[in-house]
Structure 1
Amino acid sequence: MTGIDAEVLVAGGGPVGLVAAIEARLAGLEAIVLEPRDGPIDKACGEGLMPGAVPLLGRLGVAPHGIPLRGVRYTDGSRDAVHRFAEGGAVGLGVRRTTLHDALAARAAALGVRVEPVRVAEVAQDADGVRAAGLRGRWLLGADGLHSTVARAAGLARPAPRGRRRYGLREHRRVAPWSELIEVHWTPEAELYVTPVDDRLVGIAVLARQGVGLERALAGAPELAARLADAPVAGSRLGAGPFRQRTRARTAGRILLVGDASGYTDAITGEGLRLGFAQARAAVGAVAAGRPSGYEGEWMRITRSFRVLTGALAGAASSPFRGAVVPAASRLPRVFGAAVEHLAR
């Protein structure tokens, strides 16, 4: 181990980066997280964990407080499509991003994960290891988000595609949740995701093209606007995007990309964390076995449904057929339910 600070360096201390570090420790590998931001890290996201993500956290010994989510409702104001998650299966969980971060950080610390307050700006690797932010590891897992420095430094990033550039906004409102479902309100310009995250707090996330703000989006969703009319804002409004990011591959020598850093299609199905957690487990398994090239095939398998279904839905949402999405889901409830179940698990 001469000259090696840890077997695994993880660039990025968000949920996926922390899960990657926890997975490394559970596999018997030393792990250091490289993250310049202090305290719980927040992000503009829907804050709903799909049912498939909850047992992944449980396996790691992480159980954040949240509100059970029992299904998904799509509405355009005149038609609804509702699917409740299959009986006997895991339910989803609405959980504040900061609450999730605190739970993961506590578990990582308990397992001996070290967090260094440094920013990864450059990456260099040789046959025996990788150097980043002045530290050296056997492997580097890039979990540094949509605009990944690691992906660019490793030559894995591809130019963002032109057109269909969509962005996200999120704020919280102090109001008692009125549903156990993740609500997705479709307007002509945006999707608004409503997720209960505490007994008197809901998260409102907007997904739309640049320039469509929350007030403008709410104007197209009168049912939701009425529910929020007297609900005060809690905290700051956050933004993120553009969401569509591409990579040439997910591995380059001793560097592996996980989570949004590995490429992302759209936030429209809200399953980014489930995918990121599964990718983190697969990446750690590959490096623990000394076969990092095997991760590429695992990444393709893990993301296949996401890439196909999310790509199709995101394409429809950005096309002249946008207005047909909710009516089609309403007329074909079995198809809608099967798609939700497939993505949720």
Structure 2
Amino acid sequence: MIDVLVVGGGPAGLATAIHAALAGLEAVVVEPRTSPVDKACGEGVMPGGVDALRALGVGPAGHALRGIRYVDGRRRAEAAFRGGTGLGIRRTVLHAALHERARELGVRIVAGKAGDVRQGPDRVTAAGLTARWLVAADGLHSPVRRGLGLDLPGRSPGRYGLRRHYRCAPWTDFVEVHWSADGEAYVTPVGDELVGVAVLSRSRRGYDDHLAGFPALRAALDGPHASSVRGAGPLRQRVRRRVAGRVLLVGDAAGYVDALTGEGIALALAGAAAAVRCLAAGRPADYEAAWQRLTRRHRMLTGALLSFSGSPRAAGLVVPAAARMPAAFAAAVHLLQ
């Protein structure tokens, strides 16, 4: 019998399968899309996420990131990462590297969808496969999570993200977060001649309309488009719990607050490691508490920043406050690592 059946072959699912293989467990991934898989993503990996990739034996090429900079017109505040660098990397490059590593370790990747999930006392079945445990890493709008009745209704208007790449030389090795009254724009250098720009907002309109709210940024993007616009949302996903019998939820499927702090990949990798540790120890129920611990800081900080972004007047105070209190801003950036 398969030890761990992973539904979803994105970074969270592949990281889960790699951790399982490294722990001596047989892992099979079910994924309908062919590699590499692209999606709307800020494409910045925090230093902790870079360390987590190294622990998996994955070291993809990208653009080194030294810190985070907040920008509001001419005002700015910045803080460097302490003791390490982040990584700006195309989502497709990251996915391909994780996919290759999983294959190297003997992980079987099957084309398909989970379909109905059926559980017994000592097994779980999905996609025509039977395993001791199932890890659902099938994304923000996880069909497995919904099928198990683990979704909770949202409490506030949803936020949406759109991303496009520009073929131009990066002007910084920081992740830049440009603030406006209507949302934020995230600039991530992902190559020597490639910059990704993601916009987040509660307002649903076209990418160019959003970018018009950041005239200085738009003027700096002097190269041609290098990708089509990809979108995701609503970002906020509330979940009853992350363990349901023999099923564990990992990555975005486990619940999501917002992309505002850019920790999505790092948290997905940390969640994958925690889930496999619990399974390997024969204590799957411990995963819920482990997930709560490893995401607590992110949930608190992101929730606080969201309370500002939800008000045009408050959003205008974020960058001036960060500039006036550089030590506090640096401490917040340090927490993101």
Q: Same fold (TM over 0.5)?
A: yes
Q: Does 1:335 align with 2:328?
A: yes
Contact 2:235 2:256 in 1 (8 A): yes
Aligned to 2:210: 217
Aligned residue number for residue 140 of structure 2: 146
Tell me the equivalent position of 1:112.
Answer: 106
TM-score by length of 2: 0.98
1:34 corresponds, among 19, 30, 34, to: 30
Q: Equivalents in 2 of 1:166, 1:96: separation in Å?
A: 23
* Alignment match, 2:262: 270
Asked if residue 291 in structure 1 is aligned to residue 287 in structure 2, the reply is no
Q: Does 1:192 find its partner at 2:185?
A: yes
Determine which of 135, 147, 150 is the counterpart of 1:156: 150
On the 8 A contact 1:120/1:133 being kept in 2, the answer is yes
Structure 2 gap segments, 5+ residues each: none
Q: Which amino acid aligns with 1:300?
A: Q
> Separation in 2 of the partners of 1:322 and 1:177?
26
Q: What is the root-mean-square deviation of aligned Cα atoms in Å?
A: 1.0
Q: Separation in 1 of the partners of 2:244 and 2:9?
A: 21
Which residue in 2 is equivalent to 1:43? 39
Residue number in structure 2 paired with 1:59: 55
Q: TM-score, normalised by structure 1?
A: 0.95
State whether residues 96 and 197 of structure 1, in contact with CA within 8 Å, keep that contact through their aligned partners in structure 2. yes
Instruction: Summarize the alignment of residues 305-320 of structure 1 with structure 2, pairs less than 5 Å apart.
Output: 305-319=297-311, 320=313
Moved more, 216-225 or 251-260: 216-225
Measure how far apart 1:57 and its partner are.
Answer: 0.4
**What residue identity is the alignment partner of 2:239?**
T
Aligned match of 1:321 in 296, 307, 314?
Answer: 314
For residue 133 of structure 1, the aligned residue among 120, 127, 138 is 127
d(CA) in 2 for partners of 1:129 and 1:90?
42
Compute the displacement of 1:322 (Å).
1.6
Contact 2:180 2:315 in 1 (8 A): no
Q: What is the rounded CA distance, in whole Å, between the counterparts of 1:247 and 1:36 in structure 2?
A: 24
Identity of aligned residues (%): 57
Q: Which residue of 1 aligns with 2:93?
A: 99
- Contact 2:135–2:248 (CA under 8 A) maintained in structure 1: yes
Distance in 2 between residues matched to 1:34 and 1:221, nearest whole Å: 41
Q: Is the 8 A contact 1:139 1:254 kept in 2?
A: yes
Alignment match, 1:246: 238
| Whole-Å separation in 2 of the counterparts to 1:241 and 1:211 | 10
Paired positions, count = 336
1:128 is displaced (CA, Å) by 0.7
In the TM superposition, residue 47 of structure 1 has moved relative to its aligned partner by 0.2
- 1:256 corresponds to which of 244, 248, 269: 248
